[in-house]
């Protein structure tokens, strides 16, 4: 690859201008804030800011929008780790192990790991965007309904293991989630299913209010109960000691997970039909499957946290690949950004990388800088932010409840969603008291709708020859192979272990 010096100089000249640097800082700080608060999302922030960017230079405007996007995905992990309140659906998997680490007094390390992993995932994805955009965009076009169905099924294979040890409970929680995902208008026939004449239910049960209820409200109720029973006071607060960074041994363990999760994130990000919420669970699943100690996942395993956080930030650059090369956004937030590109007279496609190369490369390098800045801000603030976990619960609980209500309302400006959140809060409490996994419901809600849509679409697309259609597509075959591997590997492992045991006994 030849490096065009003039282009390079122009890129840095544009980025060095004060308004671009200002927008970079505003975007990163604003994005972290938007992401951390449940109910406020990057998508919403970008949508509200697009009219504000009319008067700006295109580079400043798009650096602002993309910095918000990247930083919000990271910001979602902070509240997930510290108070079990994922700021975005992409951080639901983060809450699994992140919050357990906080309870064990490793909150600082969890924040540090999450920050570093987010930065690494984000940077890898930007590098992929810089160097591999055209081929990756072509790959993303090879994915359609059958592949989306299979990816969703692949993701669903994790459900069985989400309630550690109690397979039947995990599966039944997953089934409940799938059942919930059936509510709403049937995409193929427009029939309103299980809506009982309530217009709010026609788009289905909103994921974010349900997730806030299942994770945050149930957590508040469980903590409150503990506090009441044990008459514990401030002494119940987790300690804050420990280092910000993972130890050298932990780093060595994380290397594989981080690389794998980065790749998963970039690839899932490229796909218009799947985003950070899907990527984080797929990466979590893969990390667990490849781990030496899969049973520790969900109990504060640093690898689980790293997998989720690396992959959801790797989605950000990945989602911009089809956006910039094909004009097909890879996620909800980038769909809004597409409007921003058009308004500034930037047409995605070949022309963007030739005629407007100086602008698009400035935006991409700007995103790289945004990721670095996000890391610096995150690490600098971690020691202050972590104190949230040491706030006495009696003070913290009402704040979490208020945030949950406001967040649920804000998503669709809907009181109905607040009722949904409350109902799911109660459901979550009862489930956790009886050992059912709330994460399994969230996972099934995310993937159930995707699986159904993909399968129904592929039924039409196959024109009657469904099996032939699925077996004729290379990526579909590949994912089927992965699903088989995921399903059979625990059985194979058990069989091997048993045989080894028998050999040992007989000798």
Binding stretches for another protein (CB under 8 A)? 43-44, 46-48, 50-51, 54, 140-145, 185-192, 197, 199-203, 272-273, 322, 326-330, 332, 335-336, 339, 342-345, 347-351, 412-414, 453, 457, 460-461, 463
We find the least distance from the C-beta atom of residue 302 to another protein, in angstroms, to be 35
DSSP state of 301: -
What is the nearest approach in angstroms of another protein to the Cβ of residue 205?
Answer: 11
Instruction: Return d(Cα 467, Cα 475) in angstroms, integer.
Output: 14
Nearer to another protein by Cβ, of 272 and 366: the residue is: 272
Distance CA 352, CA 324 (A): 7
Q: Report how far Cα 364 is from the mean position of its chain's Cα atoms.
A: 21
Mapping DSSP to helix (H, G, I), strand (E, B) and coil, where does residue 185 land? strand
**How far is it, in rounded angstroms, from Cα 332 to Cα 259?**
25
Please say which residue, 98 or 348, places its beta carbon nearer to another protein: 348
**CB half-sphere exposure, 442, CA atoms < 13 A:** 32
The pair of three-digit structure tokens given for residue 36, joined into one six-digit string? 């951390």
Residue spans of beta strands (DSSP E) within 144-279: 184-185, 192-193
Query: With respect to another protein, which residue has the nearer C-beta, 247 or 347?
Result: 347
Q: Shortest Cβ distance from residue 279 to another protein (Å)?
A: 17
Q: Which is nearer to another protein, 175 or 335 (CB)?
A: 335
- Residue 33 vs 353, nearer CB to another protein: 353
The residue length of the chain stands at 507
Alpha carbons 186 and 183: distance in angstroms, whole number: 8
With respect to another protein, which residue has the nearer C-beta, 390 or 462?
A: 462
Element holding 73 (H helix, E strand): helix 58-83
Between 315 and 385, name the residue whose CB sits nearer to another protein: 315
Start-to-end CA span in the chain (Å): 61
| Separation CA 341–CA 411 (nearest Å) | 24
- Of the pair 48, 477, the CB lying nearest another protein is at 48
Distance CA 268, CA 148 (A): 10
Dist. CA 358–CA 56, nearest whole Å: 16
Task: Of 42, 128, 48, give the one whose Cα is nearest residue 90.
Answer: 42
Quote the least distance from Cβ 343 to another protein, whole Å. Answer: 6
C-alpha distances (whole Å) from 38 to each of 84, 91, 278 are 11, 10, 18
Beta carbon nearer to another protein, 200 or 250: 200
Pick 87 or 107: Cβ nearer another protein: 87
Q: Residue 175 or 185: which CB sits closer to another protein?
A: 185
Q: How far apart are CA 443 and CA 456, in angstroms?
A: 20
> Closest separation between CB of residue 55 and another protein, Å?
10
Rounded least distance, CB 359 to another protein, Å: 15
> In the bound complex, what is the minimum distance in angstroms from residue 165's beta carbon to another protein?
37
| Cβ 301 to another protein shortest distance, Å | 35
**Contacts with 343 (C-beta within 8 Å, 6 or more apart), sequence order:** 50, 53, 54
State the DSSP string of 84-130: S--SSGGGHHHHHHHHHHHHTT-HHHHHHHHHHHHHHHHHHHHHHHH
Q: Smallest distance, Å, CB 477 to another protein?
A: 16
Q: Shortest gap between Cβ of 274 and another protein (angstroms)? A: 11
Shortest gap between Cβ of 78 and another protein (angstroms)? 23
192 has which bridge partners?
Answer: 185
């Amino acid at each position: 690859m030849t490096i065009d010096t003039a282009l390079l100089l122009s890129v840095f000249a544009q980025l060095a201008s004060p308004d671009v640097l200002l927008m970079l800082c505003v975007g990163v700080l604003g994005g972290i804030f938007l992401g951390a608060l449940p109910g406020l999302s990057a998508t919403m922030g970008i949508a509200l800011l697009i009219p504000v960017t009319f008067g700006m230079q295109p580079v400043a405007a798009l650096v602002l929008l993309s910095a918000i996007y990247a930083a919000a995905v990271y910001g979602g992990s902070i509240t997930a780790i510290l108070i079990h309140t994922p700021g975005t659906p992409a951080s639901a998997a983060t809450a699994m192990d992140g919050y357990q680490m906080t309870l064990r007094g490793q909150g600082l390390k969890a924040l540090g790991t999450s920050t570093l992993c987010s930065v690494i995932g984000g940077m890898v994805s930007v590098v992929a965007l810089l160097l591999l955009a055209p081929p990756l965009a072509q790959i993303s076009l090879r994915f359609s309904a059958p592949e989306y169905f299979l990816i969703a099924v692949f993701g669903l294979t994790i459900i069985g293991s989400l309630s550690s040890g109690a397979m039947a409970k995990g599966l039944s929680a997953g089934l409940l989630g799938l059942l919930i995902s059936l509510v709403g208008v049937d995409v193929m026939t427009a029939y309103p299913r299980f809506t009982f004449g309530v217009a709010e239910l026609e788009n289905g049960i909103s994921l974010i209010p349900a997730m806030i209820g299942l994770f945050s409200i149930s957590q508040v109720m469980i903590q409150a109960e503990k506090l009441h029973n044990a008459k514990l006071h401030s002494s119940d607060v987790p300690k804050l000691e420990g280092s910000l960074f993972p130890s050298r041994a932990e780093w060595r363990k994380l290397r594989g997970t981080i690389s794998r999760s980065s790749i998963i994130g970039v690839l899932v990000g490229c796909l218009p039909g799947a985003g950070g919420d899907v990527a984080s669970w797929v990466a979590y699943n893969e990390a667990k499957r490849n781990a030496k100690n899969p049973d520790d996942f969900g109990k504060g395993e640093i690898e689980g946290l790293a997998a989720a956080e690396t992959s959801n930030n790797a989605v950000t650059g990945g989602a911009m690949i089809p956006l910039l090369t094909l004009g097909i956004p890879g996620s909800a937030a980038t769909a809004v950004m597409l409007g921003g590109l058009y308004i500034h007279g930037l047409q995605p496609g070949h022309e963007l990388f030739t005629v407007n190369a100086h602008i698009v490369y400035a935006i991409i390098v700007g995103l790289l800088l945004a990721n670095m800045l996000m890391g610096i801000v995150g690490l600098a603030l971690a020691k202050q932010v972590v104190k949230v976990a040491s706030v006495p619960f009696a003070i913290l609980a009402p704040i979490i409840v208020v945030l949950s209500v406001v967040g649920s309302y804000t998503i669709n400006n809907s009181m109905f969603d607040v009722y949904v959140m409350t109902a799911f809060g109660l459901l979550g409490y009862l489930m956790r008291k009886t050992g059912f996994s709330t994460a399994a419901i969230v996972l099934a809600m995310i993937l159930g709708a995707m699986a159904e849509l993909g399968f129904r679409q592929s039924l039409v697309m196959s024109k009657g020859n469904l099996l032939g259609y699925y077996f004729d597509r290379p990526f579909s075959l590949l994912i089927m192979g992965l699903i088989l591997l995921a399903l059979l590997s625990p059985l194979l492992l058990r069989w091997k272990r048993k045989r080894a045991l028998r050999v040992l006994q007989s000798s």
